């Protein structure tokens, strides 16, 4: 399953935020972009926990990131 994530730098919090619009705007944050993405992955997995692994794991090597400038 490919899921779009929006990564933004929050100047007031001095941290990155990561949000998934397709999944009710599940979001997380981190001191680095990678930490924010990793935390978002954890949040999404917790939300999708009742769904079997084979339905949301992807063998695709593609990466999709949306940047807002």
Residue 68 or 8, more confident = 8
Residue 46 placed within a domain? yes
Question: Which is more confident, 54 or 3?
Answer: 3
Do 57 and 50 form a contact (C-beta atoms < 8 A)?
A: no
Residues 6 or more apart whose CB falls under 8 angstroms from that of 30 comprise 15, 16, 18, 36, 37, 38, 39
- 66 falls within a domain: no
By DSSP bridging, strand 26-30 and strand 15-20 are antiparallel
Strands, E assignment, the chain: 6-10, 15-20, 26-30
Give per-residue pLDDT as tens, 8-65: 999 999 999 999 998 888 999 999 999 999 999 999 888 877 766 666 555 656 566 7
What global pTM score does this model have?
0.67
| Within-domain flag for 64 | no
Count of domains forming the chain: 1
Domain residues for 31? 6-56
């Amino acid at each position: 399953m490919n899921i779009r994530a929006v990564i933004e730098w929050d100047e007031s919090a001095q941290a990155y935020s990561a949000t998934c619009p397709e999944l009710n705007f599940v979001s997380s944050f981190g001191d680095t972009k990678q930490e924010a993405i990793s935390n978002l992955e954890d949040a999404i997995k917790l939300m999708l926990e009742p769904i079997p692994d084979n339905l949301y794991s992807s063998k695709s090597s593609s990466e999709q990131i949306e940047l807002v400038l």
